[in-house]
Amino acid sequence: MSTENPQVRKFGTKQFIIIALAVMSIAFIWLGFTKYGFWDEFKGPRPGFFPVIISIGMLVASVLALVFSFKESAPSWPKENWLVPLSVVAIMLATFIIGLLPSIAIYIVVWLRWLEKCTWKTTVVVFLIIMAIVVGAFVLWLGVPFPKGLIYNALFY
Amino acid sequence: MENFQMLMQGFEVLFTFQNIGATIFGAILGLIVGAMPGIGSLAGVALLLPLTFRFNPTTAIIMLGALYYANMYGGAFSSILLGIPGDGPAVMTLMDGYPMATKRNRPGQALLTSNISSFIGGTIGMLILTFMGPALAEIGLKFGPAEMTALLLVAMTSIGWLVGENPTKGLLLTMFGILLASMGMDTLSGSPRYDFGSIYLLGGIPFTPFVIGMVGFSQVIKLMGERHKENKVVVNKLTIKGSMITGHDFKRMLMPALRSGFLGTFVGVLPGAGATTAAFMGYAAQKSFKSEEPLGSGAIEGIAACEAANNGAAAGAFAPLLALGIPGSGTGAVLLGGLMMWGLNPGPLLFTNSPDFAWGLIASLFLANLITLMIAWGVIPFLIKILSVPTKLMIPIITVVCIVGSYSTSNSMYGVLIMFISGMLGYVLTKCEYQTAPALLAFVLAPLLESNMRKAFIISQGSLGIFFEKPISLVFMILLLSIMLFPIVRPVLVRLGLLKKKVK
């Protein structure tokens, strides 16, 4: 079954992306010419030289892509897919309070037990596998100092 | 002969406990990652990049090389047993692999055919790499800034052109990748640019979190939609004994594997073509030869042709990567990025300045090929369990690896933020039918392109003529202009009846 919606010739995400890229290229051209410099008679190419050339190319390609984009079908955006980025935002926020490892531990249990409705046995097995990878490879082997969060710092420092 | 002596020295470098362990570890992980539908070699290599920080550069790249290479073996497993290709190159394996497993009821033999022909194709690719690598490097030594600029432009635009269906989108993302790479510090003058006042952006966008996000995290978001699909394995039980092929089967597989091994290697050397194109071409070429059973009905010849071609291409792709510093695919770009992070500069001088590394890596591919064949054979009885791991369990595992992997590269949440943003961007772009591989390749090659382009313009005092004066750069420039103008010229050619309209 196709996930595409046949909404042809409407302004949508595809057009938005292309316009965003075009705006980016205009900003790079502007900054390249006005702030970083394009060409110096004696020194030759300046820091803005290369990005400006590429930006001009990108602007031309954006115009072409925009023309062709109206012939394409619009993509669909299943709501459940956004749960993954949402969970990462939650982990990032929780990290500042309780630290990264506890945030990850809570995420795994919540995700598997309540979202995926896995059994406690599966949840515990996957939990142990993930924590073994994180603690074994990243903490013990690579020695990564993961953030411990405000609560830990308040209690122990 | 000299190349063989250097290769033997490479084996001496390779034969340490750590390097052999890294090869075995990379091969096992590559098989698992390749076998699981939806992850692929690009995401696999990107996710494992942080784990290699503890190793020395040689061991690290040996492990990633083995992982990439083993992935080519693993991709066929799910094609044959599930009817779902594990990665791009395995799409063609499905054509005959799945019917051989289901209609002919010979799943074990299909797997073994795939493994042996992968081994044959890979060995051919590595032998050619042994000779072609240093020869390419010698040619590369003659390249000045103008030739390198033209070559890099061709490499970047051709991957944008060949990957995906829309060349304009490929070119757009190539230029987007270059602009992202130009943020931070201007490497030639040392002055900051496009940092937008952020101290984080002053150091540029960090490579590892960017790659993990673009290919790993974006993949997890996509997998959410597939998490309730059940992988139905076509057989209940597989044994090594029951998977043995007959002498007649071997005879049928040998010639297609040899032919496709050569063809695939040369396709792999071309920038942008890669293993997927090689598999398609290997299969298409087999149609011109006699097969005992019709292709598409479960013919051994079909499996052998595409598997040997994609493994030949995987090995062949190392020739331009090592000798010219130009990767042929997204995975090659990640490997190149890794090499640069470890302070190695792939290019014409690599074989002269770091022979231990260059030959150690080539030797490790030979070892990885042999080890992967043995492991791939050994895991046949366990494949059903590996392939039955539900996607819904893979999602939290990969998400956590993305987070901790990105954090570990900078020991800061900035890495996680970059991974998150690039992951979202990668997902949105993929949904809008953009391929992220051109952006990755451009991101890695942009500094090299910029320094060569600026040097060329300094030499020519701003004249474009420098790119058209020497024959090598002239040829590359003609190629580049043809690639860039084709999307515009194409509709005109179709209208004039000189080109057929593309049928989807």
pLDDT (tens digit per residue) in A57-81: 999 999 989 988 888 888 889 989 9
**pLDDT band for position B1 (cuts 50, 70, 90):** low
Q: Report the alpha-carbon distance of residue B60 to residue B18 in Å, rounded.
A: 10
| DSSP track, B161-211 | HHSSS-HHHHHHHHHHHHHHHTSEE-TTT--EES-TT-HHHHT---HHHHH
Task: Report yes or no: A62 and A21 within 8 Å, Cβ to Cβ.
Answer: yes
DSSP B234: S
Helix (H) or strand (E) holding A39: strand A39-40
φ and ψ of B239, to 5 deg: -125, 160
C-beta atoms of A142 and B53 within 8 A: yes
Whether the predicted interface score ipTM is above 0.85: yes
- Residue A2 confidence (pLDDT): 43
CA distance A23 to A12: 16
Residue holding tokens 């929780």? Answer: A94
For range B329-335, the mean pLDDT? 82
Which of A4, A35, A81, A122 to probe by mutation at the B interface, max B CB count within 10 Å? A81
Instruction: Look at residue B381 and tell me whether its pLDDT is greater than 60.
Output: yes
Least confident of B2-11, B42-51, B97-106, B119-128: B42-51
- Taking CA atoms, A51 is separated from A7, A104, B64, B178, B426, in Å, by 35, 39, 32, 8, 22
Q: How far apart are CA B124 and CA B131, in angstroms?
A: 11
Give the phi and the psi of residue B2 in degrees, each rounded to 5: -60, -40
* Cα–Cα distance, B261 to B279 (Å, whole number): 10
Contact B300, B93 (CB under 8 A): no
pLDDT at B259: 94
Nearest to B307 by CA among B253, B377, B249: B253
% of chain B surpassing 90 pLDDT: 29
| pLDDT band (50, 70, 90) for residue A108 | very high
List the domain boundaries for chain B.
2-234+244-495
Q: Using a CB-CB distance cutoff of 8 angstroms, which residues of chain A are in contact with residue B403?
A: 88, 91, 100, 104
State pLDDT tens for residues B93-129.
888 998 998 888 888 899 999 999 999 999 999 999 9
Summarize pLDDT for B69-85 with one digit per residue, the tens: 888 888 888 888 888 77
The three state secondary structure string of B480-502 is HHHHHHHHHHHHHHHHCCCCCCC
Would the CB atoms of A88 and B403 count as touching at under 8 Å?
yes
DSSP three-state, residue B246: coil
Which residue's structure tokens are 């084996």? B11
Chain B nearest CA to A157, separation (Å): 20
How far apart are the C-alpha atoms of B271 and B260, rounded to whole Å?
18
Q: End-to-end CA distance of chain A, in Å?
A: 57
Structure tokens at B40: 């692929």
Distance from CA of A152 to the nearest CA of B (A): 17
Q: Which of A21, A64, A145 sits opposite B176 (nearest CB)?
A: A21
Task: Specify the pLDDT at position A1.
Answer: 40
Closest CA of chain A from B259, distance in Å: 37
Q: What residues contact A139, with CB distance under 8 A and at least 6 apart?
A: A101, A146
The type of residue at B382 is: F
d(CA B81, CA B114): 12
Q: Chain B residues with CB inside 8 Å of A3's CB?
A: 225
Lowest mean pLDDT among A93-97, B123-127, B372-376: B372-376
